[in-house]
Amino acid sequence: MLTPLRAKGYWEGAAAPYVWKMIDDIERRLESAAKVVDGARRVAEDGLGDLKSAQKDLKDATRRAKEKGPHINADGTLSPDVIDNVCKVELTDEEKKTIETADREIAQILRRGVTADRDLAYSLMADIGLEHRPPRRFS
């Protein structure tokens, strides 16, 4: 990108040393920006890996829970009184334990996903910083 500006004979006279200094400064800034972008890319890839891992584990946990009988509602919660698609007034101790175990497992995986999301956001803010955000407009 800076090669045409460095072409021999492009800059002459008294301004040449100043221009060369500016070109070197631009080159240093571009190298620095490339390092920041590379760091942000690595952080995003790591965060994406953590989120995909949590997603896979969540899908596996819900599949296992469904195989054991508990019903998973549309909002992702386990139904406390539906086993094998049958609404029951009284659950056996085994059925209660199955629901509680599945609920605990799913909640733990969701916490892991939320933690991965939060860590990713914090890491990106630390690498990129707040000063690179466009200013907020208040109306």
Q: How far apart are CA 20 and CA 99, in angstroms?
A: 71
Q: Is the pLDDT of residue 101 over 60?
A: yes
Q: How far apart are CA 93 and CA 104, in angstroms?
A: 16
Q: Is 81 left (phi over 0), alpha (psi -120 to 50) or beta?
A: alpha
Span 38-75, pLDDT tens digits: 888 888 899 999 999 999 999 999 898 888 888 887 78
- Cα-flanking dihedrals φ and ψ of residue 78, to 5°? -85, 135
pLDDT at 139: 44
Span 112-131, pLDDT tens digits: 999 999 998 888 787 665 55
pLDDT at 40: 83
Residues 6+ apart with CB under 8 A from 122: none
Residue with tokens 């508990």: 70
In this prediction the pTM is 0.66
pLDDT at 8: 58
Quickly state the pLDDT bin for 79 (edges 50, 70, 90).
Answer: confident
| Segment of 8-22, 34-48, 73-87, 115-129 carrying the highest mean pLDDT | 34-48
Q: How far apart are CA 55 and CA 103, in angstroms?
A: 16
